[in-house]
Structure 1
Amino acid sequence: MHEMSLMESVIAIVCETARVNGASAIKSIRLDVGVLSHVNPDSLLFCYEAVRRGTIAEYAALEINRIAGEGWCLDCGETVTLDERFGACPDCGGHRVQMTAGDELKIKDMEVI
């Protein structure tokens, strides 16, 4: 389960950032997770419960925002919704679609005390 190592990294980043900026605790964390990122939000939440214990994020709420898949079709020049990585353009059927959103995993923000 790669979500465990991902969440360990998220907690390390937010805790270090909070400490460097003089915070004593983290109240909330918001993540953006793309639907095409191959990251399971339920697994992230499960892992979060385990890795936050004993850190300044122990009592922080975690919010996961799902980001839709989107791409730019080089064949028809349209921005299109993507339901799968490397899928065909839903407008013209072309296969030259550059993904522009939906594969990210990023810390959007956090609230600290």
Structure 2
Amino acid sequence: MHEMAVCESLLSAMEEAAKAQNFSRVTRVRLAIGRFAGIEVEALRFGFDVVMRGSLAEGAELVVLEEDGSAWCFDCCETVALSHRLASCPKCGGERLVPNGGTDMKIKDLEVL
């Protein structure tokens, strides 16, 4: 379950931000997660609760904002929205697609004290 490692990295990023911006507590974390990022949201929620225990983010609310996936279609030369990675092009039915959006995860913002 790589979501635990993701949560550990998230905690490190929050600790660095706390030092740089002089805050001591995180009460809410908003994450934007792309549909194709390979993150299992329920596993992330579980890992978040476990990893944040005893830290500046213990008890913080985790808000997940799912971002749409998109891909470039070589058949119709368009960027199209996709509901899942193996979908056909919704415009032309082509199957030669390269994902170009919704593949990452980023911290949108933190609510801090």
Same-fold call, TM cutoff 0.5: yes
For 1:75-86, list aligned pairs within 5 A: 75-85=75-85
1:98: Cα distance to partner?
3.5
Q: Structure 2: state its 5+ residue gaps.
A: none
CA distance in 1, matches of 2:80, 2:14: 33
- Partner of residue 2, structure 2: 2
Q: Give the stretch that moved more between structures: 39-48 or 20-29.
A: 20-29
User: How many residues are aligned here?
Assistant: 113
- Partner of residue 33, structure 1: 33
Name the amino acid aligned to 2:40. N
Name the amino acid aligned to 1:5. A
RMSD: 1.6
For 1:95-110, list aligned pairs within 5 A: 95-110=95-110
Give % identity: 39
TM-score normalised by structure 1 residue count: 0.87
1:51: Cα distance to partner?
0.3
SS in 1 for 2:23: coil
Would you say the 8 A contact 2:49–2:59 is kept in 1?
A: no
